[in-house]
């Protein structure tokens, strides 16, 4: 085979990483350390006004949904600003499927029993709830199903409250159903935390779908994405080593050191930046 044919074969077989996806991933500190982004899927961001369908997926390992059922979100919990680079990592204790033990939670529990402990540090070490969604943006239809990671505090809790306040016969609790569901009209307000700006949910409305929209949702159900499988859940030893800034040998920390230094003051729940 000629060198030219070899090069064409190499080009055909290799996958080219999306520069846009990589750029967006680097801008969001959580994205590279807590979940994977599927090939050909773009990361979605909210704006002041959006009309979206939250496309469901088939649950396989979900904390609140039976395997095989359709659901619209995947809840997980993170510890923020961990290690020398202040990265985020999924908490394996509170995240379903994580194995049940977390060195950061253990340290926080021990610290909380110390009457002289820094209360701000104890608070900062608490796990924060976040969620993954699969939005279909009506203003960006060519992208198809996208991936959205966000703080439960800034969106999910507002959606849950909206559903709980509705009448049962309105059917908002199954808004993500392919046949009987609803399109969401979302409003967001821009907020500031320190030097960072982010969007928090300010309004939610359920819109009835037309026949063409129902057909489109059924087409989008073929996305083949399982949000359960996208989570990056570290082992106890990996998290222990990162938290204590320890070198790792044979997959385990070389030595056990106490956490040094104070954590920065944090909110009760993460903001999405």
φ/ψ of 33, rounded to 5, equals -120, -10
Burial 237-255 (b: 16+ CB within 10 A, else e): ebbbbbbbebeeeeeebee
pLDDT digits (tens, 9 = 90+) for 23-46: 444 444 444 799 999 999 999 999
Residues 35/232, Cβ–Cβ less than 8 Å: yes
Res 10 pLDDT > 60: no
Res 20 pLDDT > 90: no
Task: State which residues form the domain around 221.
Answer: 30-253
Res 92 pLDDT > 50: yes
Query: Domain for residue 269, yes or no?
Result: no
Residue that wins the pLDDT comparison between 148 and 247: 148
pLDDT at residue 112, rounded to an integer: 87
Query: Domain for residue 11, yes or no?
Result: no
Residue that wins the pLDDT comparison between 100 and 258: 100
pLDDT digits (tens, 9 = 90+) for 199-212: 999 999 999 999 99
Give the mean pLDDT of 232-255.
77
Q: How confident is the model at residue 108 (pLDDT cuts 50, 70, 90)?
A: very high
The token pair at 104 is 């950061």
Mean residue pLDDT of the chain comes to 84
CATH code, 132: 3.90.198.10
Query: Domain for residue 272, yes or no?
Result: no
Using alpha carbons, list the distances in angstroms from residue 66 to 20, 62, 93, 172: 35, 7, 20, 20
pLDDT at residue 255, rounded to an integer: 53
Give the count of domains, the chain.
1
d(CA 22, CA 239): 24
pLDDT at residue 266, rounded to an integer: 44
d(CA 35, CA 190): 25
Query: Domain for residue 70, yes or no?
Result: yes
Res 272 pLDDT > 90: no
Taking the CA atoms of 38, 39, 41 and 45 in sequence, report the sign of the dihedral they define. Answer: positive
Bridge-based pairing of strands 182-193 and 49-54 is: antiparallel
d(CA 100, CA 263): 24
Query: Domain for residue 258, yes or no?
Result: no
Give the mean pLDDT of 11-29.
45
d(CA 55, CA 52): 9
Query: Domain for residue 2, yes or no?
Result: no
Query: Domain for residue 265, yes or no?
Result: no
Bridge-based pairing of strands 135-137 and 148-151 is: unpaired
Res 90 pLDDT > 90: yes
pLDDT at residue 2, rounded to an integer: 52
Residue that wins the pLDDT comparison between 16 and 162: 162
Give the mean pLDDT of 109-136.
91
Res 195 pLDDT > 60: yes
Res 101 pLDDT > 70: yes
Res 86 pLDDT > 70: yes
Q: How confident is the model at residue 179 (pLDDT cuts 50, 70, 90)?
A: very high
Q: How confident is the model at residue 117 (pLDDT cuts 50, 70, 90)?
A: confident
Query: Domain for residue 266, yes or no?
Result: no
Residue-level length of the chain: 273
pLDDT at residue 95, rounded to an integer: 95
The token pair at 35 is 């979940």
């Amino acid at each position: 085979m000629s060198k030219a044919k070899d090069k064409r074969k190499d080009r055909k077989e290799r996958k080219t990483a999306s520069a846009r996806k990589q750029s967006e991933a680097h801008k969001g500190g959580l994205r590279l350390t807590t979940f994977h982004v599927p090939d050909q899927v773009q990361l979605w961001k909210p704006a002041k006004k959006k009309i979206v369908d939250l496309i469901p997926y088939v649950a396989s390992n979900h904390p609140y949904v039976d395997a095989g059922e359709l659901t619209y979100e995947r809840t997980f919990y993170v510890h923020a600003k961990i290690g020398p680079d202040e990265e985020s990592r999924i908490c394996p204790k509170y995240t379903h499927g994580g194995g049940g033990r977390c060195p950061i939670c253990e340290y926080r529990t021990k610290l909380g029993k110390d009457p002289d402990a820094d209360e701000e540090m104890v608070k900062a070490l608490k796990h924060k709830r976040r969620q993954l969604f699969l939005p279909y943006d009506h203003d960006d239809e060519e992208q198809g199903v996208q991936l959205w990671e966000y703080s439960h505090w800034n969106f999910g809790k507002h959606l849950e409250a909206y559903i709980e306040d509705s009448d049962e016969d309105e059917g908002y609790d199954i808004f993500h159903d392919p046949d009987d569901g609803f399109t969401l009209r979302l409003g967001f307000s821009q907020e500031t935390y320190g030097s960072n700006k982010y969007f928090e949910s300010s309004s939610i409305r359920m819109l009835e779908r037309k026949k063409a929209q129902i057909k489109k949702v059924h087409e989008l159900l073929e996305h083949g994405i399982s949000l359960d499988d996208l989570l990056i859940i570290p082992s106890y030893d990996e998290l222990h080593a990162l938290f204590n800034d320890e070198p790792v040998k044979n997959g385990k920390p070389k030595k056990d050191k106490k956490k040094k230094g104070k954590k920065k003051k944090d909110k009760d729940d993460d903001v999405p930046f």
